[in-house]
Homo-oligomer: A and B are copies of this chain.
Amino acid sequence: MSQSPKPQRPTDPAKAAPSPKPSAPSARSSEPSRRSSEPSPRSSEPSPRSPEAPPPPVPTSADVARLAGVSRATVSYVLNNAAAVRISEPTRRKVREAAEELGYVPHAAARTLRAGHTRIVLLPTSHVPAGPLYSAFLDDLQWALRRLDYTVVQYGSLGLSGDQAARAWAELRPVAVISLGEIVLSARNVATLERAGAKAVITLGPVGVPGAHALVLDQGEVGAAAALHLVERGHRRIGVVVPEEPGLELFSAPRLAGARSVAGAEVEPVPLARTEESAGRLARRWRSLGLDAVYAYNDEYAMLLMRAFQDEGLRIPGDVAVIGADDLLLGRLLRPRLSTVRIQMPTGDYLAALVDRAVREGAEPAERHGLMAASAIPREST
């Protein structure tokens, strides 16, 4: 434990020891010279922290044991409610009271090390995405995983390459990693994680990752639903907004392709940045494009564009029909009310269950498709 003047109960030196155990740890002092004395058994109120005093040592289970007058093992058994070991009720109480008095909190790292595994589910987040859809999904997922007794850790991986990120994540030895598609993983990265003990690497995104449980969310569905809706309303020449903001290609390209796949639609890609200026510029040259409808990537771009169209004197949906995606509340407030595509993602419960199955049964990684449903919601702008 330590080299400091500890009780060192005078155990019988001539004990019946089957193996030669001198067991003299030769009190060699190492460098973290902590635990200079008893952690002050009395004084339960947090002392007013005298200036420049060395921080009081963090209480360990050994401290609890000392205070309760039992062995560390007993403390461990009691605090973990080990049913298989018989500890008397009075002792249990003593231990619990001692722990309470010291404000003992177990050390997760020590526990992990001993156990050989964690129950951490890692959720890498590069940039925190706004969308209410996404936000609700994340809440769901966290709840569901907590119910299954996993610890959810969102680990910011901003600006890391796939390799760096994978290594950093692996250090935590998570049982599972759920990549929400903000960081693109390679098969090598998946291997790194699995070698570090991850039982499941799950990716959500437009493309699958070999070796991982890939939930392929086919963004094409969204584009297709939008285009289909427009075609049904009699539109033919359809513009599809492709955001100029970097990082969105993974979503916009499949959506564009999805729109293209719809029979009867002539699709024209239309670049647009998420600013009023860009929308104004596009609106001004709109008539020259010869299009009669636009699928604007999502509701934000759609709203931006709608306003610009109106400022330009274009009537909606008369001159041009507009449809977005994501079903934002605010889209309903515009005049005309914005038609949109509602996107159905896998639920948090579904994902949590998938994690749990993979962890417990070591399910084979596979690609799953068709998890994303998209349906057009007609309102007034189409």
Interface on A for B, CB 8 Å cutoff?
19-22, 24, 26, 32, 34, 46, 51, 55-56, 58-59, 103, 105-113, 115-116, 118, 125, 127-132, 134-135, 138-139, 142-143, 146, 151-156, 158-159, 167, 170-173, 187, 191-192, 194-197, 199, 211, 274, 276, 300, 303-304, 306-307, 310, 329-330, 332-335, 362, 364
Contact = CB atoms under 8 A, between A and B. Distances in A.
Given A158-B139, A173-B108, A192-B105, A116 B34 contact: yes
The oligomer's copy count stands at 2
Given A113-B113, A142-B156, 16 more contacts: A20-B24, A21-B26, A55-B197, A55-B199, A105-B167, A105-B192, A106-B171, A108-B172, A111-B171, A127-B139, A128-B138, A139-B158, A143-B158, A153-B154, A303-B330, A304-B333
Contact of A107 (B173, B306, B307, B362): B173
B154 A156 contact: yes
A58 B195 contact: yes
A46 B128 contact: no
Given A132-B130, A139-B128, A116 B32 contact: yes
Contacts of A107: 113, 171, 173
Given A107-B113, A173-B58, A197-B58, A330 B329 contact: no
A352 B16 CA distance: 58
Given A135-B128, A135-B129, A300 B26 contact: no
A109 to B, nearest CB: 4
A46 B194 contact: yes
A331 to B, nearest CB: 9
Nearest to A304: B333
A105 B46 contact: no
A77 to B, nearest CB: 15
Nearest to A34: B116
Given A58-B195, A58-B196, A173-B58, A125 B154 contact: yes
A52 B128 CA distance: 38
